[in-house]
Amino acid sequence: MNAMWKQQLFGALCLTLAAAIWGGVYVVSKVVLEEIPPFTLLIIRFAIASVVLGVFVVARREFIAKQDFPMIMAIAFVGVTISIGAQFLGTKLSTAHMGALITAASPAFIALFAVWLLKERIHKLQLAGILLATIGVLIVIGIPDEADAQSSLLGNLILLVAAVSWGLYTVMSKKATLRYSSLAVTTYVALFGLIFTCPVMVWELSVTAVSWDFSWKIWAGVLYIGIISTAGAFYLWNKGFELLQAGSGAGFFFVQPIVGAALGWLLLGEHLGIGFFAGAVFIFLGVALSNLQQSAAKQKAGTPD
């Protein structure tokens, strides 16, 4: 099973890189959102990604049939308009490290949606892990300290919406990659997400004054968000789940809060309060239980390397 082992290793690498990139984007987006409103940044982000990915789709002629457009449109609405929109809006109202940790509840929702949509089995230890991770998120939302006073309850709840919808998006995308390549799915989702979110951006700009005379640092952040964290990381994420089961791949998302919290503290001077650490303990205990179940299942199967 050497080929299978290489496939799993490559899938794990893709998911780790994607999650690490997204850990950093919380810090970058926190700075950029000071100048560009959330849904306008979302449109710019996915416009850049659509162009970058579209070049490869056209070159490789990996197109999606029109009869499957409704499936891709649903994925785009859930994953882009709702999840990424909520992520940007929640991060603007909250803090970068809170954003990274709260949305780390996504693996629990990925596992639940995988049971519903992919008919994957969920075991007792996985249920216990999901419960612990959920408690961790509730602790983060419910126990802000003085240094986290700017981390509003509303912002944290919006970030929780982002986590739930991201779990649904991931499983829906995995179903789509059973029929089409990860490149095609990622590109079409970016394009439809761009279209669906345009009306919100138009409304946002009508009520928000924006000066487009940004510094080079802001534009560099926009390019990072569009090229690296969208075109690159979205493709890596979808590719990783194309190669791995949804239940086993979900845990790699937890690379994100580690990177996000570290960079938020290092670059933005954000305080890591007691709520953050208490919630993190529960979340990582949940991950450990899930991984314990996965290891046990592999040993029972006795699959050779």
- Per-residue pLDDT tens for 78-109? 999 999 888 878 877 877 667 666 776 788 78
- Per-residue pLDDT tens for 187-235? 999 999 999 999 999 999 999 888 888 888 899 999 999 999 999 999 9
CA distances from 234 to 3, 56, 92, 105, 122 (A): 24, 14, 21, 18, 26
Tokens of 185: 């799915």
Residue 149 is predicted with a pLDDT of 52
User: What is the C-alpha separation between 268 and 135, in angstroms, rounded?
Assistant: 27
User: What is the C-alpha separation between 30 and 42, in angstroms, rounded?
Assistant: 13
Task: Give 276's pLDDT tier (boundaries 50, 70, 90).
Answer: confident
Instruction: State whether the Cα torsion 37-40-46-51 is positive or negative.
Output: negative
DSSP states along 54-114: HHHHHHHT-PPPGGGHHHHHHHHIIIIIIIIHHHHHHHHHS-HHHHHHHGGGHHHHHHHHH
